[in-house]
Amino acid sequence: MEIHEIKAKLTIANVLHFYGLKTDKQSRLNCPFHEDKTPSMQVYYKTQTAYCFSSNCKTLGKSMDVIDFVMHYESLSDVGGNNTKAEAINKCKEILGHQKPNSKERYQPDLSKSQFPRCAKSPDFELSLLLLNFQNAISIS
């Protein structure tokens, strides 16, 4: 998978979600890359980038795309502290893998609705069915 393919498929929202990060109503969050007490990081969903406004941040005031973000984030947990772009790209692929919808779940028809379409409309339908069974049971015995 090429870098441009990753950028086309992986959104900044996907990445934030993967790392359990949430933005506030102004699309800001506490920057994970420096000691941040107030939300200094702005996320731009339109351009799929993030930018930290703090001057003492290791992102060095540069706009980050999804791959840069992953690279910085992975560096946090890495002992060496310096992840390469190639490693970040691999991680992006992994995140994309997590996004893949389960094809079995996706195409499973909803039997409960298709078998008894009237249930949803008439709450008494099931009751009348029960009653019918009951009457049948009586007539058989």
* Least Cβ distance, residue 119 to Zn ion (angstroms): 54
Q: How many residues bind Zn ion (CB under 5 A)?
A: 6
* Least Cβ distance, residue 56 to Zn ion (angstroms): 8
Packed helices 85-99 and 66-77: angle between N→C axes, nearest 10 degrees: 100
Pattern 53-92, Zn ion, x by CB under 5 A: -x--x-----------------------------------
Question: With binding defined as CB under 5 A, does residue 42 bind Zn ion?
Answer: no
Run of H or E residues at 87? helix 85-99
Where are the extended beta strands (E) located within 1-141?
Answer: 28-29, 41-44, 49-52
Contacting residues toward Zn ion, per CB under 5 A: 31, 33-34, 52, 54, 57
